[in-house]
Structure 1
Amino acid sequence: MASFKAALLLVAALSLNSILAYDGTTCCELAKSEGAFISPAPAFENQTCGQSYSTSLNAALPLYVNYTFCSSKCRGMGLSKFKEPSEWAAPLVQFILPSVIFSMTIPRRKKIEFDYVFDQRIKITKKKRWFWINEFAQLARSMFYFSIILFPVFIDTIVWIAVIVIGAGNMLTGGLYEAFLDYRIVRYVETRNRSGRDNLDVAELEMKRELLVTIAAGNLKLDEDKGAPQAMILNSLTIPGVGDPSDGSEKSRSRLLNLLGSQSSFGSAVGSPVLFYLGSFVYTILDLQTNPSSQDAAISLGFGIEWMIIVHVAIVSGCLLASNNPSTSSGIVGSDHEALEESRKHYLPRISSDWATLRPPQGPEETSDRRSRQWIVHKILGWSDAYDTKFQPVSLWSRGSNKRLWIEKSKAWANDADFRKLMKINGWGWAFKVFFPALMLIAIPPATGGVVAYFTPPRGLGCRSLSFIVYASCQLAVTIIATVRCAVDDGEKDDKRKSIAQKLFTGMGFKIISAPFWFGSFISAIGGTTMQITGVFRNCICYSDARTWYNINNINPAVDLASDTLDARNSSHFWIKMGSTATVFMALNCYIGWWYQRLIRHRFTDAVKAMYVLPEVVTLPGGNARPAPDDANENAPLLNGDSVSEEDARPPQPEGASNLEEQTNEALLVAGAGGHPPASATSDDSRGDEIELLPHPARGGAIVDS
């Protein structure tokens, strides 16, 4: 009841219905004229109001009034003045907006977009000589529409920033969990390479490829309606290149490295921008050394430190190897693209029946009701997937759990107990390898910012410092819940088969438990920053001790109205220490993230290099040589000296291929990739004789003819 009463008093004090606007200097002069200062009050000639810092001036003496006088004579809020940018522009421009830029690098699943407004055509005239009028009208209308849709895009950005701030604990936990799994997978593959495993073993190579694909693409959804990426990407890796004699195993190495390269390097995406971002903190710290009682600079620094949390999330997401953009994976597989769906609906029905197998399957979900809902969501609200591909990534806070599902579907998990043991995390592992690092990243920014606010005069618990404490406490709870969720989530969708812990910490139970702490994070971080920038926190209640709010009228606490006091000057030591601590901590995190990604990328590349299969060469009588036959093509005939039947010379056809496709493949074999005969290459053998390399008709290998 007491806390509810204190909340009502705070709301009343912050009400816009207040007649007067709070101003510390004006209130101090009024108290001085009325003799309202309470003991210990200095002599009248030593009562200085509104003093600014100067090395030639002594610190001002504190001037206290009781809360009754302040609330009755100095009511209202000291809203920020546009003509004084230090009150509102400093935290916004120096810290908050630069940190918001990093939100663009954090992977997301949904976005607001109205791209269809550019598809509408205008036909003012049909005369060819006046077609430029149609084009000009089209450009003018598209520019007008674009200016309109900028507003919902701005709202989308604000919402995304809010999601990052309130879900930072979830995102950091999911990202660190994925980083841990990536490191274990690379170590396992390296161990098998060093143990002398036979790279000629097809099963061994397939297992390694599957695990490396899990690292590079394990952030994609495993739902069947999202294209089953685990199986499709793995199968697409070993498809031989068109017109290239290299076999599928060699091509898979290039495709794996292409998957790895699709993720931007940490330095260009996050590392270098962080170094420039820290410059504003260094400048503010140096400014506080020259003006140690600048409360505006101190509070700007405090809230800027709190918004470091966005940069910490960007650092964790930037050091992961799985690409945020699934376009590369979709390109390797050749999956559908959203932009082609409409054209497919219009054009595929007109194509001959030989190509009917390319039509997308029409299931029962393709109903008019479903299409109507999609039309409303996309056309009116602009809500759509972040990427126009069949494959879709999961959210950052689900990436660790989703990669775990990829791992559990792998052949290594099914066949190797050592691998299952390596991927297992015990309770201490969850505490020290996932939870504790996430807690450090989530707690240090608001903790150091809270110390800055606590030592900003008037010292003590107030509106500003409490906003930091509430945010840190809520994110602590969010991080604990997120860690438990990652530990118990096994992808089970059926509630009847879930354990009690899974029902509580996954699915709807997870959202219900987390909702109060997400709301508290939103009010304290987003709301607190907004109230500080607008000046809502400048009022009598916020300048009094928060421990008296429950009965503030009867306790009647003291409120200090003086500026540039000795306490203010001494507080700068805490401001500078906390600002330096947060700055060094972020620089250290950036260095660790940079180092981790370089390390894992290097190990990933080395693992791919170790998967090279050296072709075996069989020397035949008379100097002839050819690649050693494999089990599936043991009796492959030679083109040099052996008779080749028409059936053997034909390329293998995929099962179910039509006559048209068989004829096309045979024509490509004879004509080559550009409609020309396949070129032969010459080289020298060890004896210095010229040898000729021709493509093998059935295996895509090479026949060596001396």
Structure 2
Amino acid sequence: MSVGGDTVKSTGWRGQGNYTSVADAFPQLANLTLDPGSGRDPRKGGQNYTHCCLLAVNASLDIQNGFIVETSSSFIQAPVENLLAATEANQFPCTAKWDGNPAGAPVVQVPYSWLEATCPGWQLSRSKPESQWISPFVGFLLPAVVFCLMIPRRRKLAVWSKLFLPDLSQVMSWIIMPFAMLVAGICVTIDTIMWLSICFAFGSPMLLSGFYEAYLDSVIIGFIQEKLQNNRLTIDMKARLLFVILCGNLDLEPDARTLDEEMLDSLSNVGQCRDERWPDFTGNPGSGPRNVSSPWTHVENLVHELRTYKDAALQTPRQWPMHDVTCTVPKCTDFKCIERPICRTQEIQREIGRAKTRLRTMLACQYSFGATVGAPVVFFLGTFVFTIVATLSNLGDNDTSLALAFGMWYMIIPHISIVSGLLLAGNNPNTLEGVVAHEFGDTDPRFPDQKHLGTRIFELAYDSRYRPQWLWFRGRSKRHWVEKVWKTYEFRHPAGQRGPMIPDEDMAALRRATTLTTRSWGVIIGITLLLMGVPFVLAFVTAFYTPQVGISCRTLTFTVYTITQLCQIVLWLWAYAGAPEEGTCPPFLRKGGILHQSGFYTPTDVSSLRSRHTILTLRSLWSIIWYDTVDGLEGFWTFSLATIFGLGGVFTAIGGTAMQLMGVYRSAKCDLNAGWWTRPHDDVPVVVSTNFALAIEDANRYWLACGITATLFLAVVCFCGWWYQRRLRGLFRELVSSLGDISKEREEVRAAVARD
């Protein structure tokens, strides 16, 4: 390897023949000892690999008659004259930095056995250079914390309320206040770290469930638009489906409260209309018992005043007219015997206006996508640009490339934040509570406050009677809300004639539209894998081509984490996707097939494990595979496979990040490719010098390309998320505005309005 041409070579030869020691030619080797000089045990971070390189250079050179010569076991992959010339050009291999010359500095390469024997342990990161830990920590990890705070959650670490309520009228309170502030700050810090760990651990289920919910939002909006074109839905059903879009992330079946029963009973007894020809509709087979504390019941109460027919039943107002029950003519189709819609009085028009205001307000109360996601993404992209510029100004610096690799990996957190930001359902359930505006009691004698230790430590994230689902359950939750709609209204009276109840075609259409096909699942899974896979591939390629080239500690960290996420996707689909509908797969896989009947698609249902009569069934087998029971069935303390893979994700994500920032990965073991870990590797060469040609070449070919790709990809994902949610919000507002539009009503409603 030549450096600098003939002029530099002659400069390097000036002292040859006049040296008395190697340090005369290479001042970096003066007073060199085996001790790295860190004052710390090398196995506890006290190693210094610049010092190791100096030891390797010193062991490779000797003095003969005033000349610097190589020893028989030289580790320097260049002639002495090139080494002297490089040193004259400030390219001494152990301290060299990028100077614009792609040839770089001479390579110092030692066998692994020498490195392990001479330089054991690992090197603790230092404040300088900044690329070792400051750049990835401040540039990527802290912005990831900001993103994770925007991701909706159900619970958080409780902070003792009395820490914020000291009596400042006493001197002792002022003395205690700084300690209270410190304790509160520590609790919040721990909570943030835990939530960041959870976001990393369950990143793929969050993305998958978020896309599932976004798909259902789009399908429901499309369904309403279609029914507006053919004038099929009643106004209360349209409002009901719009409320489902906004509230589908809330617990559908919470514990019922006695005071809620009293309140709703008093509401349901107001304004009941009795008619012997068209009695209150209470016979729907799909209605079932009413949960008085469910947000579904409260939504039904909100839209009840918009009903089309005189039906006082709060839970299942009629969607189609009844036939006169006093009529005795078989199969009568007389127009006079068909129920007429309720007149659109001024009071009903006001109720329609209130419903439109509620829906618009609930949507408008949500945070802006640009403020919560867009602005942080801009700062995150700025860090990418800064790191790319740093790479250009310091080509071949491994610390810079690894900071870039971990930054690409952290893109998963912004992706989760983007997906959660494009959903229409609000994160704060107090919005619905304010809209419902019932004076519900704060306490319930029948259900006293019996908190477990876990719920005392981890309190609800929102002080509300309604509880939002975790992000990884939100898609399933909205599906349950949609099922509640079509199961409640799946039967109706035949329109125009007398007869038994028949299936409602609109509810059947809603069921078909919201039941995902194999193709739909493929799209959702594909987008999820794209947002999970691109950060992994970019980080993997960058770390892979950071010498030593190959798979080692950092690339394995990325790989193991991705495997845990793929396994969680499989588990989520197994437990929550449900059995495929008929006609989309072989019979034994379909709904009603052998696997479905054996409980294969409901592995989280552990009721079979509690009964001695069902514990030896296939249903129990699926639950056992999903759950690993501890201490028998009495306490039923379980660790699910999702938890195992989640902990694996936490260990690789947070643990891997900590080891990279601390410098644990800066060790001899991690300089060795993983393929050699289980084979004899004493003679495997390891490069200990800096700014060499291969690193510079990889920086130009891979590091910069991956960094630019990551920047563009995150920007495109953010823009697509912003456009998608703006589009859905616009469509939602149009549907809200169409409520009460007589041209969108069914024919009998238009006829009734025309008569009135």
Identify the residue that residue 125 of structure 2 maps to in structure 1.
80
In 2, Cα distance between the equivalents of 1:406 and 1:609? 23
> What is the aligned partner in structure 2 of residue 515 from structure 1?
643
Distance 2:350 2:695 in 1: 73
2:358 equivalent in structure 1: 255
Asked if 2 retains the 8 angstrom alpha-carbon contact of 1:21 and 1:75, the reply is no
Match of 1:307 in 2: 410
What is the alpha-carbon distance in structure 1 between the residues aligned to residue 210 and residue 105 of structure 2?
50
Q: What CA distance in whole angstroms lies between the structure 2 residues aligned with 1:392 and 1:505?
A: 29
1:494 deviates by: 6.6
Task: Tell me if 1:167 matches 2:202.
Answer: yes
Q: Counterparts of 1:106 and 1:206 in 2: how far apart (Å)? A: 32
Aligned partner (choices 205, 209, 212) of residue 177 of structure 1: 212
Q: State the percentage of identical aligned residues.
A: 30
Are 2:362 and 1:362 equivalent residues in the alignment?
no
Q: Which of residues 564, 571, 577 is equivalent to 1:487? A: 577
Partner residue in 1 for 2:493 = none
Q: Which runs of 5+ in 1 are unaligned?
A: 1-14, 123-132, 199-203, 342-359, 616-627, 635-706
The one of 371, 375, 383 equivalent to 1:280 is: 383
Distance 1:291 1:464 in 2: 21
Where does residue 255 of structure 2 map in the other structure? 225
| More displaced 10-residue stretch of structure 1: 283-292 or 598-607 | 283-292
Quickly say closer, same or farther: Cα 1:106–1:522, change in 2 above 3 A.
Answer: same
Counterpart of 1:43 in structure 2: which amino acid? P
Which of 209, 212, 222 aligns to 2:242? It is 212
- Over residues 239-271 of structure 1, what are the superposed CA-to-partner deviations in whole Å (9 max), with x where a residue is unaligned? 69xx99952122111111112112222222212
Q: Distance in 2 between matches of 1:502 and 1:183?
A: 33
* Structure 1 position 90, deviation (Å): 0.9
The answer (yes or no) to whether the contact 1:113–1:384 under 8 Å persists in 2 is yes
Q: Distance between the aligned counterparts of 2:624 and 2:77, measured in 1?
A: 58
- The CA deviation at 1:501 is 9.7
Q: Secondary structure at the match of 1:435?
A: helix
1:590 maps onto 2:718 in alignment: yes
Query: Is 1:526 equivalent to 2:551 in the alignment?
Result: no
Question: Deviation digits for residues 418-439 of structure 1, max 9, x if unmatched?
Answer: 11111111223212x2111111
Measured after TM superposition, the shift of residue 493 of structure 1 is 5.2
2: CA distance between counterparts of 1:176 and 1:222?
A: 20
Q: Residue 467 of structure 2 is aligned with which of 386, 389, 392? A: 392
Q: CA deviation at 1:233?
A: 2.4
Aligned amino acid, residue 211 of structure 1 = L
Shift of 1:16: 6.4
Q: How far apart, in 2, do the equivalents of 1:308 and 1:423 lie?
A: 31
Larger helix percent: 1
Distance 1:143 1:22, change over 3 A: closer
Q: 1:50 to 1:473 in 2, by over 3 A?
A: same
- Name the structure 1 match of 2:737: 609
Letter in 1 for 2:527: P
- Gap change, CA 1:306 and 1:121, over 3 Å in 2: closer
Q: 2:549 aligns with which of 459, 469, 494?
A: 459
2:52 alignment partner AA: C
With over 3 angstroms needed to count, the CA separation of the structure-2 counterparts of 1:179 and 1:254, relative to structure 1, is same
Q: Tell me what 2:135 maps to.
A: 90
Residues 448, 575 of structure 1: CA spacing in aligned structure 2 closer, same or farther, 3 A cutoff? same
Letter in 2 for 1:392: R
- Aligned pair partner of 1:544 in 660, 672, 675: 672
- SS of the residue 1:550 aligns to: coil
In 2, Cα distance between the equivalents of 1:466 and 1:333? 51
Query: Are the counterparts in 2 of residues 438 and 479 from structure 1 also a CA contact under 8 Å?
Result: no
* Candidates 297, 307, 315, aligned match of 2:400: 297
Gaps of 5+ in 2: 1-39, 61-70, 84-92, 257-292, 307-345, 491-503, 579-600, 609-613, 630-637, 744-750
One-letter code aligned to 2:126: K
Q: What pairs with 1:99-498 in structure 2 (closer than 5 Å)?
A: 99-117=144-162, 122=167, 134=169, 138=173, 141-197=176-232, 204-225=234-255, 227-237=293-303, 247-334=350-437, 341=442, 360-363=443-446, 365-366=447-448, 370=450, 373=452, 377-378=455-456, 381=457, 383-411=458-486, 414=490, 415=504, 416-431=507-522, 433-488=523-578, 495-496=607-608
Distance 1:478 1:71 in 2: 38
Contact 1:217 1:259 (8 Å CA) reproduced:
no
For 1:559, what is the secondary structure of its paired residue?
strand
Q: Give distance in 1, aligned partners of 2:45 and 2:221.
A: 65
The TM-score normalised by the length of structure 1 is: 0.73
1:98-155 deviation digits (Å, cap 9, x = unpaired): 1210111100111123352057665xxxxxxxxxx72676566455412222112111
Query: What SS does structure 2 have at the residue aligned with 1:65?
Result: strand
Deviation at 1:477, TM superposition (A): 1.8
Moved more, 508-517 or 469-478: 508-517
User: CA deviation digits over 1:7-32, x for unaligned, max 9?
Assistant: xxxxxxxx967388332221122122
Map of 1:679 onto structure 2: none
Q: Are positions 1:42 and 2:78 aligned together?
A: yes
Contact kept, 8 Å, 1:335 with 1:389, in 2: the verdict is no
Amino acid at match of 1:417: A
Match for residue 560 of structure 1? 687
Partner-residue secondary structure (3-state), 1:523: helix
What is the DSSP-based 3-state SS (H/G/I as helix, E as strand, rest coil) of the residue aligned with 1:547?
helix
For the aligned residue pairs, the C-alpha RMSD in angstroms reads 3.2
